Amino acid sequence: MPDPAPAPDDAAARVGVRVRGLREQRGLSLSALARAAGIGKASLSELESGRRNATLATLYALAAPLGVPLAALLDDTIGAEVASSGVTARLVDVRHRPDATVETYVMEFAAGEERRSPSHGAGVREHLVVVAGTLRLGPDEAPVVVRAGEHAAFDADVPHHYVALGDENAEGVLVIVTPRLTTA
């Protein structure tokens, strides 16, 4: 039986410790990482100390300059849940293969809410199967519409977005494949 998801305070503390550890391993100051991620230094300090819950947007902003997949910031904790306005992601599996890290998330998208995502790094690819609702998703220059039972795949090394179309929320299973560039 899988371990239950951690209490929110435990999760925030784990994420904070993980972010601080990765930052220090890479020799980055708090100011340098905050600047590279485009977030406030005070916000990063609060996140690292476990006094602030990280949003999905903040974690993605930190993952790129740290050179790690999102799951590394979640300490590969199965069941870890992270959200931003209009979207929730729950980590359901992580595989560390010799050539890549493969992360699987269950995603929920609020109707009409757009989720913008920065590029994830060279060679990162996303695969999304829509299980409920309809989504417009993909690179900003070439989005596609995907309905329940359909899937899309795209290179996620460019800015991309997701938006649930219509009046219904959308749900999907997202698989992110990140080539092994650094160790986390």
Q: What is the CATH number of the domain that holds 162?
A: 2.60.120.10
Rounded Cα distance between 64 and 99, Å, is 18
| Any domain includes 184 | no
Same domain, 168 and 90: yes
Q: What angle do CA 78, 81, 86 make, to 5 degrees?
A: 145
**Cα–Cα distance list, 29 to 20, 45, 100, 173 (Å):** 10, 11, 28, 35
Same domain, 85 and 175: yes
Same domain, 103 and 170: yes
Same domain, 63 and 125: no
Same domain, 85 and 133: yes
Segment-wise mean pLDDT, segments of 10 residues, the chain, 184 residues: 47 88 94 93 92 87 89 91 92 96 97 88 93 96 96 94 94 95 50
Last residue of a domain, one of 38, 70, 102: 70
Tokens 């560039």, residue located: 181
Rounded to 10 degrees, what is the CA torsion of 58, 59, 62, 68?
Answer: -170
Same domain, 62 and 120: no
* Burial bucket for residue 142 (CB in 10 Å: 0-12, 13-18, 19+): exposed
| Any domain includes 56 | yes
Give the chain's domain count.
Answer: 2
